[in-house]
Amino acid sequence: METKDRICLALDVDSTEKAVALASELEDRVGLFKIGKELFTSAGPEVVKKVTDTGGRVFLDLKYHDIPNTVRGASRAAAALGVTMFNVHCAGGRAMMEAAAEGAKSGGASPLVIGVTVLTSLDQKILTEELGLDVPLQNLIRKFAMLAKEAGLDGVVASPREIRIIKEACGKEFLVITPGIRPSWASKDDQKRTNAPADAIRAGADYLVIGRPISAAPDRREAAQKILEEISAVLD
């Protein structure tokens, strides 16, 4: 995998035109482009084709969480769109994740299916006081990751702070896609469990999801290049 392939840029915009402009500008420095709920809801499935036409690969970040049959159909549709990767919520349970893996294989191409463990906007206080879950955050994430592997998923989304425990529990080949990446020169914004690109790679992250540190930078290409160089220094 080339160094740039480890970077997934979040296309947190509201139109096809803005998404295509970002993808065209950064395709040579970014390996994946994440299309999430705002963009997909605003622009529809056509935006996936438009971004792939630029030469970019797509991570469809819709976090499916529904009954197994519905998720199976949605997964089949995602595969038919030609995405490289898409995700589901691990909290949907084993049968739902198994249905997602089955649907992905029946939709033409066979994209990577990734489970979302615990959102990086959550921390132990929220988990306990607001959601009423009296379980250590890292234990819950480890449990979700192991369940995802048993269900046939290719990996999970998890914060930089949980990479090691997931790799220890599920093996080095089990992918970890890591959001909450904030270089030292960028703000944390609304994410609570963050880390720098180099630290996440050292911990074993396979893909880094990065949004505003690149997309909101005064010079987006320079920002992407700085992150590439930081990652390269660890991998060399």
Helix (H) or strand (E) holding 114: strand 112-116
| 63 flagged as catalytic | yes
Q: Which two tokens stand for residue 163?
A: 């990479």
pLDDT in tens, 197-236: 998 999 999 999 999 999 999 999 999 999 999 999 988 7
- Of 63, 105, 149, 172, catalytic: 63
Q: What per-residue confidence (pLDDT) applies to 193?
A: 46
- Give the pLDDT mean for 95-103: 97
- Could you give the CA distance from residue 44 to residue 177 in angstroms, rounded to a whole number? 24
* Whether the predicted pLDDT of 45 surpasses 70: yes
- Could you give the CA distance from residue 82 to residue 48 in angstroms, rounded to a whole number? 8
The DSSP 8-state label assigned to residue 160 in this structure reads: G
pLDDT in tens, 153-188: 999 998 888 899 999 999 999 999 998 788 876 555
When comparing pLDDT for 139 and 107, which is higher?
Answer: 139
- Could you give the CA distance from residue 59 to residue 82 in angstroms, rounded to a whole number? 10
Share of the chain above pLDDT 90, in %: 81
Domains of the chain (ranges, CATH numbers): 3-235 (3.20.20.70)
Confidence of residue 195 (pLDDT cuts 50, 70, 90): confident
- Give the pLDDT mean for 46-57: 95
Task: Look over the chain and give the mean of its residue pLDDT values, rounded to a whole number.
Answer: 92
